């Protein structure tokens, strides 16, 4: 039972880190990456779908994305979805593909992105701490019910703290890399 708690905590913290990586990938850093459009949802036969599921997204140049919809009728919908998104991009539709030119970031926009990235990192840290708390609560409950000894509970809580420290260090490392990426001219 006790090792299962540790395993559960580790898995949940890894999921929090994966989520942070996905969030960071969608933050625009001056270079065009298809992941920037992951959160842009398009109306497709009555359902909301990500852009990358209604067409292919490629990056032929460092500052350009090209979206080739699988159905030409989707061009208008994709264009509208991009304009409604908070990416600040202006799509150009040539009748067969949509081109997105990624403008160079202004210093002001870079600072906004740094704030956004720090906020995402802090949310990940809070999530990791909540997972630690849940794991510790589970161990305390097991100790109270006599399933594990007090020493065993202490040892496992220390182990959970080690996993937490490691995960938070990874968040800090990811944050540092993304800040460099965003502030790089």
For residue 173, report the phi and psi dihedrals to the nearest 5 degrees: -65, -45
Q: Based on the domain organization, do 20 and 53 belong to the same domain?
A: no
97 lies in the same domain as 129: no
Number of structural domains, the chain? Answer: 2
Lowest mean pLDDT among 14-23, 25-34, 39-48: 25-34
- Same domain? For 74 and 90 the reply is yes
pLDDT at position 61, please?
A: 81
pLDDT at 24: 82
Same domain membership, residue 174 and residue 116: yes
Q: How far apart are CA 65 and CA 74, in angstroms?
A: 17
Secondary structure class of 80 (helix, strand, coil): helix
Encode burial over 42-56: b for 16+ CB neighbours within 10 A, e otherwise: bebeeeebebeebbe
Domain that includes residue 79, residue range: 34-101
| Model confidence band, residue 173 (pLDDT cutoffs 50, 70, 90) | very high
Q: Which tokens in the block code for residue 137?
A: 């609560």
Q: What's the predicted TM-score (pTM) here?
A: 0.69
Residues 7 and 60 in one domain: no
In CATH, what number is assigned to the domain containing residue 60?
A: 3.30.1360.40
Section 99-127 average pLDDT = 86
Cβ contacts of 56 within 8 Å, gap of 6 or more: 67, 68, 70
| pLDDT score of 113 | 84
Question: What's the pLDDT score for residue 80?
Answer: 84
If asked whether residues 11 and 97 sit together in one domain, one would say no
Q: Are 111 and 159 in the same domain?
A: yes
Cβ-based burial of 20 (10 A; exposed 0-12, middle 13-18, buried ≥19): buried
Q: In the chain, pLDDT over 70 holds for what percent of residues?
A: 97
Q: CA-to-CA distance for 159 and 3, rounded, in angstroms? A: 10
Instruction: Say if residue 85 is in the same domain as residue 69.
Output: yes
Report the CATH number that the domain containing residue 122 is assigned in CATH: 1.10.132.20
pLDDT at 55 over 90: no
Same-domain check for residues 90 and 127:
no
| Alpha-carbon gap, residue 13 to 49, rounded angstroms | 27
Domain end residue (candidates: 66, 82, 101): 101
pLDDT of residue 79: 85
Task: Enumerate residues 6+ apart whose C-beta is below 8 A from 131.
Answer: 9, 12, 13, 16, 164
Q: Which two tokens stand for residue 37?
A: 């459009």
């Amino acid at each position: 039972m006790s090792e299962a708690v540790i395993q559960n905590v580790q898995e949940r913290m890894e999921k929090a880190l994966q989520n942070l990586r996905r969030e960071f990938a969608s933050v625009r850093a001056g270079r065009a990456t298809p992941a920037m459009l992951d959160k842009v949802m398009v109306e497709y036969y009555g359902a909301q779908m990500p852009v990358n599921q209604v067409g292919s997204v490629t990056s032929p140049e460092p500052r350009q994305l090209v979206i080739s919809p699988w159905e030409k009728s989707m061009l208008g919908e994709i264009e509208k979805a991009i304009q409604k998104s908070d990416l600040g991009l202006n799509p150009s539709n040539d009748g067969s593909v949509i081109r997105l030119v990624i403008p160079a970031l202004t210093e002001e926009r870079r600072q906004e992105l740094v704030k956004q990235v720090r906020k995402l990192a802090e949310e990940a840290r809070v999530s990791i701490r909540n997972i630690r708390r849940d794991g510790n609560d589970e161990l305390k409950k097991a100790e109270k019910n006599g399933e594990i000894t007090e020493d065993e509970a202490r040892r496992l809580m220390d182990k959970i703290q080690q996993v937490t420290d490691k995960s938070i260090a990874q968040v800090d490392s990811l944050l540092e890399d993304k800040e460099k990426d965003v502030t790089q001219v």
